[in-house]
Structure 1
């Protein structure tokens, strides 16, 4: 691990978080020591981008992009590799008043053909006029975007057009970028985020929720095409003047210990991950005896349902290295609200909350809404529900999206009277939000509401050999009769007797934990996930219906 550039901040160097637009925040960057640092798969520093240089190089990229013949408002697709060129390109688009559209990397998809189709769908929604891609993914991008009449398809360095003068800076109400949803590969939605919404969310998260100060430093392996990586681990630190050390997501997956080694060596104080990231690190990471995680004051959790046992396991494993379980900070957010909506109290760890109703399972509380934001729980008819009663989560506040890009029907379905229907289910307890699942994933059997993740976790915990993400539960309506429960389980053994034994173990574990019976199907491969790494029950259901699984 290269530790030669370890540093501590003494001043923030800028007041960018108080800017009205992200372009204004970029213009206010002047810290020469603080910035973004990109590390390779073996932990060596590959490139550094000081904030003072970022402002200059983003302006250069902006002029060259405009020199291609692009005009303010045009959309530019950017394959979001974890490297400095992505940051230059994204920020250059901001200064040129172009709309950057972060696009996923091939590693998030099962095949080249599926990835090419996803790029085409994003390009269609955004109607992009140019695309930027790292050299190593140039062929992949060309395959997906070859039929489009783009003014440029290649690396940022290959944009050699004569720079043009930058336009007047954007206004707070202008669009800043498009964030594409990761929940489905069939119909990506372009979430239109204004500068006003972006800066409101960056202030709420950086100042109010996390209290970022001169002593803070971040470390992240989150993908930059996902809102948690883009906004939380890139744009917020830039606005707050906080240095961040970045690892590529694929490098973390291959070697989870890199995350913790980097956090220890660089004295990181803030890092976020989904709970599966903490679980993976606890299972596979091994730290040297002198590794010190005591500086880590905010271990944020977001992006998926929080598994308490994953947090317990991580805290116990790395307590000898100085990690404090009080550092855990569960939160809730979604791209339609730019990113964060509610945050737990700092230095309080995590706590459980239980909804009303006999036998209801407790879930992790995700804290109170950001200042200036409100959360209501409503029934399917839109009526507010009392505290403790689970229903649909609605949100209001300055961080909400303008809408889905060029999709008024979907926008009207999600936004009404300034309130966003998040599509999530949850309840409020003592003013704090707890999430119980996605509305579209809820299974109703004989009038009983079933949270699929409860079933999945129960089976994964009880059956030896199963890992997190190896089970998908969903409801299926047969041609005749009531809805039935289906569990698709990853099966690594090929021996028929071992497969039969696994099926029996799953049935027994489900019955013991819930009293339910289900149709069990076995998958020989890993279950489909979204581009952000979440289990995609919709894609599992589609594959099940098409006969893609045994059973």
Structure 2
């Protein structure tokens, strides 16, 4: 296990201010799996009703099958030379090999690192994965056969890497005991998506992961009757820990490949109805797609009355999405309380704040200018010219403490903008092999999330990333404000745009994809006019781009920093 001189989260510093927010009213789960000391114990304690299914292939694992398969694979890894304390990479598309591989790795005494799979060439994918492999000191890589070409290319960059096929078994019948695993041992090293910085390996011990899963299950009131449909990639924290929480709470999960959702969101709605699903996860854009797919004809023929929570996280939640989802899904018997805006991150083993299940989403409108300039949330009517809608993401989950801190380091009061900081048993102890990043991440026992937010009546509202705030001529602007005013203008391709401050910090810049057939100059003038009127600044520059140019992280977030770097030299910008 990697040891760092990182701040402890077990006890607060004597002079630490008390958290300023109340927690949810939790009923902690009492299932044996979630009360286990390690993931190794948890998989052996899975309830009899637990199952994970893969509709695309018809494959299915029940509790006994998952226990047996992961134990057998753990023996295979030990035979291949995996030692306690190793970090083992797992490279696989959607399938049973993901869960079997993850649990097999931790039962072999190692920590699992879920590596992203994308559609690039093997050589390009190997170059993208190589930094994480090197940073974690990986000696073994677990790979499904359809990723073999990428594994070979990666082996060329890291010749000491041993590749283990997910389908392989021990050369002889498993004999002897597997390594003993303790709660404080590393279970997962989750590399962040890199939307605002280079990816870092978030360290999560067995105790930390299980604390996070308990918080998810308790705060969302999960149990044996829950059925989740998930398409979010398993290398994203929402796609990894969400399904695990359901399984360990005694429920069942149906896993589909991400592209199945992207290509046929209407089919996902049918799957929800066919399986009697109660839970779905996804970022905000996915619910925009679901709302668009829910035509009156389709919605009228579906019964989605069992669907109780649509976890909406991983990116800012838009009030327009909440409204469209509620309107389009109502004919399918979806309750207004189903839309479930949440806030989390990999460093918290996913969950930080959830609303109380069964409550309708809360939306407030605040004065955009006062919020950006003065850091104060002044509520205004929805029709106010400076109205900025904010969607509440609930209150701290079980075991989580939260506070907001202003630029001077003082704890914020209600309605005051500040950085969100968190503490609790589900929070990481730091970044693997990176004591500098670990030290910078903590303020005493509090983890700095880098996100800005505010609290009103105990509810948290997230407004954006601290480092992405745009300052032009002394004025503060949230990039999301410029993007929300831009994305629905005529000629913008599928709402795809990114706002940031240029390198010199003198202009608010919007990089925007122009729809096929659109006139870039006309679109650019309209964007400039709209932002100047609504944001009160004439220092606006528009970069028209071809469709598909803007880069995303593997988890679907805009890479504003990378866009700024790529377009820093305007003469080198892509031709439109």
TM score, norm. by length of structure 1: 0.90
1:340 and 1:221 map into 2 onto residues whose CA distance is 18
Give the match for residue 499 of structure 1: 520
* Structure 1 runs of 4+ with >6 Å offset: none
1:79 and 1:13 map into 2 onto residues whose CA distance is 33
Give the match for residue 548 of structure 1: 573
Question: Aligned in 2, Cα 1:130/1:150: closer, same or farther, shift over 3 Å?
Answer: farther
Alignment of 1:323-342 (within 5 A): 323-342=334-353
1:14 and 1:384 map into 2 onto residues whose CA distance is 37
Give the match for residue 157 of structure 2: 147
Q: CA deviation at 1:183?
A: 2.0
Question: Aligned in 2, Cα 1:185/1:368: closer, same or farther, shift over 3 Å?
Answer: closer
- 104, 107, 117: which one pairs with 1:92? 104
- 318, 322, 331: which one pairs with 2:333? 322
Larger mean CA deviation between 159-168 and 271-280 belongs to 159-168
2:88 pairs with 1:79: no
Q: 1:493, 1:499 within 8 Å by CA — same for their partners in 2?
A: no
Q: CA deviation at 1:505?
A: 2.3
Partner SS, residue 71 of structure 2: helix
Q: 2:492, 2:523 within 8 Å by CA — same for their partners in 1?
A: no
2:284 and 2:416 map into 1 onto residues whose CA distance is 25
Give the match for residue 308 of structure 1: 319
Q: 2:76, 2:168 within 8 Å by CA — same for their partners in 1?
A: no
- 494, 503, 510: which one pairs with 1:487? 510
Q: 2:502, 2:568 within 8 Å by CA — same for their partners in 1?
A: no
2:100 and 2:108 map into 1 onto residues whose CA distance is 12
Give the match for residue 53 of structure 1: 65
Q: 2:493, 2:516 within 8 Å by CA — same for their partners in 1?
A: no
2:235 pairs with 1:222: no
Partner SS, residue 130 of structure 2: helix
- 490, 500, 508: which one pairs with 2:529? 508
2:455 and 2:224 map into 1 onto residues whose CA distance is 34
1:511 and 1:126 map into 2 onto residues whose CA distance is 46
Question: Aligned in 2, Cα 1:426/1:414: closer, same or farther, shift over 3 Å?
Answer: same
Give the match for residue 38 of structure 1: 54
Question: Aligned in 2, Cα 1:142/1:458: closer, same or farther, shift over 3 Å?
Answer: same
1:269 and 1:500 map into 2 onto residues whose CA distance is 47
Give the match for residue 213 of structure 2: 202
Partner SS, residue 18 of structure 1: coil
Give the match for residue 19 of structure 1: 36
Q: 2:223, 2:246 within 8 Å by CA — same for their partners in 1?
A: no
- 438, 447, 455: which one pairs with 1:420? 447
1:185 and 1:487 map into 2 onto residues whose CA distance is 17
Give the match for residue 554 of structure 2: 531
1:185 and 1:519 map into 2 onto residues whose CA distance is 21
Q: 1:13, 1:29 within 8 Å by CA — same for their partners in 2?
A: no
Question: Aligned in 2, Cα 1:349/1:397: closer, same or farther, shift over 3 Å?
Answer: same
Give the match for residue 246 of structure 2: 237
Question: Aligned in 2, Cα 1:325/1:439: closer, same or farther, shift over 3 Å?
Answer: same
Q: Deviations over 1:275-312 (max 9, x none)?
A: 10000122245537432111101111110000111121
2:213 and 2:428 map into 1 onto residues whose CA distance is 14
2:120 pairs with 1:129: no
Query: Unaligned 5+ residue runs, structure 2?
Result: 1-28, 379-385
Q: CA deviation at 1:213?
A: 2.1
Larger mean CA deviation between 64-73 and 505-514 belongs to 505-514
1:362 and 1:387 map into 2 onto residues whose CA distance is 17
Q: 2:278, 2:306 within 8 Å by CA — same for their partners in 1?
A: yes
Give the match for residue 5 of structure 2: none
Give the match for residue 3 of structure 1: none
Greater relative contact order (Cα < 8 A, sep 6+): 2
Larger mean CA deviation between 352-361 and 79-88 belongs to 352-361
- 451, 457, 466: which one pairs with 1:430? 457
- Aligned residue-pair number: 525
Q: 1:121, 1:187 within 8 Å by CA — same for their partners in 2?
A: no
2:486 pairs with 1:459: yes
Q: Deviations over 1:439-463 (max 9, x none)?
A: 1111012332211011101111233
1:403 and 1:431 map into 2 onto residues whose CA distance is 28
Alignment of 1:347-358 (within 5 A): 347-353=358-364, 354=366, 356-357=376-377
Give the match for residue 520 of structure 1: 542
RMSD of aligned residue pairs (Cα, Å):
2.2
- 474, 478, 482: which one pairs with 1:447? 474
Question: Aligned in 2, Cα 1:450/1:325: closer, same or farther, shift over 3 Å?
Answer: same
Give the match for residue 497 of structure 2: 471
Partner SS, residue 326 of structure 1: coil
Partner SS, residue 427 of structure 1: strand
2:160 and 2:176 map into 1 onto residues whose CA distance is 22
Q: CA deviation at 1:147?
A: 2.8
1:126 and 1:166 map into 2 onto residues whose CA distance is 26
Partner SS, residue 428 of structure 1: strand
Q: Deviations over 1:486-521 (max 9, x none)?
A: 0000023367xx222222222233234323331111
Give the match for residue 271 of structure 2: 262
Query: Unaligned 5+ residue runs, structure 1?
Result: 1-11
Give the match for residue 434 of structure 2: 407
Q: Deviations over 1:404-462 (max 9, x none)?
A: 00110000000232110001111111122110001111101233221101110111123
Q: CA deviation at 1:368?
A: 0.7
Q: Deviations over 1:207-228 (max 9, x none)?
A: 2x11112221111111000101
Q: CA deviation at 1:158?
A: 3.2
Partner SS, residue 488 of structure 2: helix
